[in-house]
Amino acid sequence: MYEDFQEFFINRLIKLRTKKDVSARAMSLDIGQSENYIADIENKRYFPSMTVFTYICEYLNITPKEFFDDEIEFPAIYNELFNNLKELNEEQIANVNNIVKSILRK
């Protein structure tokens, strides 16, 4: 069971880090860790503490819930879009929704 969780965690971390287009080394340094920290996690050398996990999520601009929700493939973009939608009026939101529906039909 732990191995399955570890495998999921590693795969999700790699996927989200890659989508952000950042190297493991750069991410490690950006979250205040040694240069090999993320690579060591991805290579199953160790697992992050909860504190560092929150730094990872903050760095990826996602919540811990979104990290584990693999149905949302692009959580950072989803969050940005959702936050931008909050700034629109009802007519603008309807227009955006119509555009999305049009794209989905193609």
**What pLDDT is attached to residue 72?**
86
Q: By C-alpha distance, which of 47, 56, 49 is closest to 2? A: 47
**What pLDDT is attached to residue 11?**
96
Angstrom distance (rounded) from CA 90 to CA 96: 10
Assigned token pair, 36: 């090999």
Q: Strand, helix or coil at 92?
A: helix
Give the fold, CATH level 3, of 1-70: 434 Repressor (Amino-terminal Domain) (1.10.260)
Domain ranges for the chain, please list them: 1-70, 74-106
Burial of 90 (C-beta count, 10 Å sphere; 0-12/13-18/19+): exposed
Phi-psi region of 86 (alpha: psi -120 to 50; beta: other; left: phi over 0): alpha
What pLDDT tens digit does each residue of the chain (106 aa) get?
768 999 999 999 999 999 999 999 999 999 999 999 999 999 999 999 999 999 999 999 999 999 999 888 888 898 899 999 999 999 999 999 999 999 999 7
